[in-house]
Amino acid sequence: MTTTEVFPYPRTCPYSPPAEYTRFREDGGLHKVPLWDGGEAWLVTRYDQVRAMLGDAESFSSDITRDGFPVATSTSRVTEAGAIMRKDDPEHARDRRIMSREFSVKRVEALRPRVLEITDELIDDLLRRGESGPVNFVEHFAHQLPARVICEMMGLSDADRVTFAEHVLIATDYDSAQEERQRAHRELNELFDRVIAEKTANPGDDIVSRLVRDHLAAGEVDTDTVKRMLLVLFAGGQDTTANMLGLSVQALLEHPDQLRVLREQPDAVPGAVEELLRFLSVNQGEPRRVVAEDTDLGGCPVHAGDAIIASLNAANFDPAVFDREDAPADVLSLTRAARNHVAFGYGVHQCLGQNLARVELQVALPRLFERLPGLRLAAGQPITYRTTAVIYGLEQLWVTW
């Protein structure tokens, strides 16, 4: 796969959408882009068009088994079939009802003290590691915090956490070899089979136990459906927030005036997190749909069977929505009212884990800069990016203090 020639196009700046997406948006919003398999898809780049597309689940289907659906890899149609984000109602609504209970505002808000405890433990570890030189923040903090939180919620062991994380990185990278992706999905299935068996025999107060007891044992869902749910929960709960944490720290260190807002205005933290979500927009490969019936999207006719993809980062930089007199949409401004961003998608398929991601970011970012007031990028160390995955992010961010 050559990422410079097919969707998703590469970012030339770690924060901004690819220049082509900006041009598409300025030219009307919809544009045909080539896909890895030789096909084409409409790319939707204007904010109003993205919301209209994602808000119309009847005209724009999430069903990966439909002809024309823009699969991301050669194995996607097999490995993703049955996943909640690849279903239409009523199956999607059933799965969402089951899974959303675990991520209600009340349940997630109750996790704040534990998220803070884990954050402090990881900062303690950074301090120990930093005694001998710069530390890779991505490896030792950004990936660790969300993985530990979601694994505790799911009742998974530390050993399982490490194994699942390794397999998810392979499974969600467009450039992984087909054999690697197949092996990762096979081993994830085997791991989840074991976890389900363990929770069936010895249930606890965790997500997997509740899925097994309340839904699998009751015959509401089958084992394959539960495994799909668990994969989505782990990947969604870990990958997106991990990349948001790394890029947020980089962006704040490179924008000291905005870091000052985070440090000096505690009441501004929730709004600051929304602006970071908008500005970074780490989801670069989704949401994908297929047109289910002829319709019109922002003045452009689209036809049944057309592949179509929403660019969340292009929509989140739309000046018609996010420009402010003192801060254009392509500028980071933590005081911007940005809660109407689409970083978590929009409509019935909006991200299930968004409440958890918000809490983790709201807790971790202020605490990092409180306990590490001298935190800075390590001079002479490379910053490398994960550019070929569904979720854009960092591989290395070396820091010191």
Write out the DSSP string of 217-257.
Answer: TTTSS-HHHHHHHHHHHHHHHHHHHHHHHHHHHHHHHH-HH
- CA 185 remoteness from chain centre: 19
Which pLDDT belongs to residue 3? 42
* CATH classification code of 74-282+324-396: 1.10.630.10
Is pLDDT above 80 for 2? no
Q: What residues does each domain of the chain span?
A: 74-282+324-396
Which pLDDT belongs to residue 324? 94
Is pLDDT above 90 for 4? no
> Where residue 55 falls among pLDDT bands split at 50, 70, 90?
very high
Which pLDDT belongs to residue 170? 85
**Cβ atoms within 10 A of the Cβ of 143, count?**
23
Structure letter (DSSP) for residue 201: H
More reliable by pLDDT, 378 or 176: 378
Model confidence, pTM: 0.94
